Amino acid sequence: MKLIGPFTQILSLAALPLKGAIADDALQIIPNGGVLTAGGLISAVGDFEELRKINGKAEIDEISGQQVLLPGFVDCHTHLCFAGDRSKDYAMRLAGKSYLEIAHSGGGIWDSVTQIRLTSKEILAGLLLQRVSRHASEGVTTIEIKSGYGLKVEEELKQLYAIKLAAAGSAIDLIPTCLAAHILPKDFSGLAADYLEHVLNDLLPAIKKENLAARADIFIEQGAFNPTNATDYLRAAKQMGFDVTVHADQFTRAGSEVAVSVGAVSADHLEASGQKEIKRLAASETVAVALPGASLGLGIGFAPARKLLNAGACLAIASDWNPGSAPMGDLLMQASVLSVYEKLTTAEVFAGLTYRAAKALNLHDRGSLEKGKLADFQAYLCNDYRQILYYQGKLKPARVWKKGSQLNH
Ligand code: NIG
Ligand code: FE
């Protein structure tokens, strides 16, 4: 048993709603707080001195100075398993080139596919671990990671094995997702529906057998997959036992409607969602995931986060960290920027980075500081939780704990 504290404030994020708007005065703020942990879980959260009195035998991890404690962040959407970079694409975008012009000059998602195919599983795992450890040092204690740059059976499997290898070498929980349905691979001879059929028949069973992922994703967009084919694919994947999620409404509307109709755990992007899509998402159990890093990387507007919350949706915020549209990967900075443009309360931002993001991954054991949850948390050198968003991502956690153990970085 270990008692950690005293913290100037503990922001527990306990007892907040799963869906809809949240005012800051709904936040539970524990002054002079302590957290008692045992076996990687939280046994109690409360007044530090009181916890010390009741638990005389607990080892004490004494915190000096002013620090604010928050749950670890959950990044519920990344493409962290990649090789190389796409700075050439980015420079072309800055010079005003269109998506199509970039793709025609050898850029775009296919460029990352080429790079992945040239890279071994071990090298990929090494690259992945460097990014995971940077994310962990910035307070992210659970990271979803998609495949989707292999785009053929053995290459998609290689990506998922690389994620598994990295997970074995990291304290951070890495949650793999199969995104073989990212785009129709250039070297597949057949229609989009044939490719999806091939993934269902030849890839997903192998993933299941090897226990490489329990989630499947698809990119619904012009130039990627259409809603009809995607619906069939997602229904079949669900039948096989996969949780499903969708890259939805990024440039054009359609994906979020499919996500809701198939009961996806989340619909991510939503930059192009309108009133109809917002209403449907809000009435559903599908988490709406905003990806401000992709808006910043592409120079497009943000997902309508305020409207989604006002309509009653569950809003999570994720980094989308990938080499093409979101190379920065700084989740807290991106969430801070989204909040000032979209007018999100501090409570809504932290909910979106923690327990609401955990819901998008169907994880119910983390995201708030309360008895029985994972002892995943992070401490910031400040005396008021509001300073964290105020510094727009430049104030980083001084200490991060995963399952009760402090990470060294
Ligand atoms: O989430 N939208 C599709 N896929 C990724 C981009 C991946 C890439 O460009 O490599 C995204 O933004
Ligand atoms: Fe993405």
Spans of all domains in the chain = 2-71+367-406, 74-360
In tens, the pLDDT along 75-122 reads 999 999 999 999 999 999 999 998 889 988 989 999 999 999 999 999
pLDDT mean over 199-214:
98
- Give 267 Cα–ligand 1 centroid separation in angstroms: 14
- What's the gap in Å between 392 CA and the centre of ligand 2? 23
pLDDT confidence band for 360 (50 / 70 / 90): very high
User: If residue 148 lies in a helix (H) or strand (E), which one and from where to where?
Assistant: none
Tell me, yes or no, if the pTM score tops 0.85: yes
Number of the ligand closest to the Cα of 78: 2
Comparing 64-68, 103-107, 229-233, 340-344, the range with the smallest average pLDDT is 103-107
Which ligand ends up closest to the CA of 177?
Answer: 2
Question: Nearest C-alpha to atom 8 of ligand 1 is from which residue?
Answer: 324
Q: Which of 32-36, 103-107, 265-269, 294-298 has the lowest mean pLDDT?
A: 103-107
| Residue 13 Cα to ligand 1 middle (Å) | 31
Please state the rounded mean pLDDT for residues 215-226. Answer: 97
Q: Return the pLDDT at 128.
A: 98
The strand ranges marked E within 39-136 are 41-47, 59-62, 68-71, 73-75
Instruction: Write out pLDDT tens, residues 22-56.
Output: 999 999 999 999 999 999 999 999 999 999 999 99
In degrees and rounded to multiples of 5, residue 229 shows phi and psi of -65, -40
* Homologous superfamily (CATH) for 74-360: Metal-dependent hydrolases (3.20.20.140)
Question: What pLDDT is stored for residue 73 in this prediction?
Answer: 99
**Ligand 1 lining (C-beta closer than 6 Å):** 79, 109, 112, 219, 247, 250, 294, 320, 322-325
For the residues 195-224, what does the mean pLDDT come to?
98
d(CA 303, CA 305): 5
Contacts of 258 (CB under 8 A, 6+ apart): 220, 227, 230, 231, 234, 246, 248, 264
> Check: CATH 3.30.420.10 for 2-71+367-406?
no
% of the chain residues with pLDDT over 70:
100
Nearest-ligand number for the alpha carbon of 146: 2
Mutate to test the pocket of ligand 1, among 247, 296, 300 (most ligand atoms within 8 A of CB): 247
Amino acid 99: pLDDT: 81
Q: Which residue has the higher pLDDT, 378 or 103?
A: 378
144 C-alpha to ligand 2 centroid (Å): 11
**Residue 387: pLDDT band with limits 50, 70, 90:** very high
- Rounded to 5°, the CA angle 265-266-268 comes to 165
DSSP designation for 346: H
Q: How far is the CA of 287 from the centre of ligand 2 (A)?
A: 15
What's the confidence (pLDDT) of residue 181?
98
Question: Which residue owns the Cα nearest ligand 1 atom 12?
Answer: 325
User: Could you tell me the distance, in angstroms and rounded to a whole number, from the CA of residue 4 to the centre of ligand 2?
Assistant: 36
Question: How much is the pLDDT for 273?
Answer: 98
- Would you state the structure tokens that stand for residue 248, as one six-digit string? 């939805």
pLDDT surpassing 70 at residue 409:
no
Long-range contacts of 48-53 (CB under 8 A, 24+ apart): 48/3, 48/5, 48/6, 48/7, 49/6, 51/3, 51/5, 52/3
Q: What is the pLDDT of residue 100?
A: 82
Which pLDDT score, from 0 to 100, does residue 408 have?
Answer: 78
Give the pLDDT mean for 337-364. 98
Averaged pLDDT for residues 277-284: 98
Of 356, 286, 357, 360, give the one whose Cα is nearest residue 18: 356
pLDDT tens per residue, range 342-354: 999 999 999 999 9
Give DSSP secondary structure letters for 113-146: HHHHHTS-HHHHHHHHHHHHHHHHHTTEEEEEEE
Index of the ligand 1 atom closest to the CA of residue 224? 3
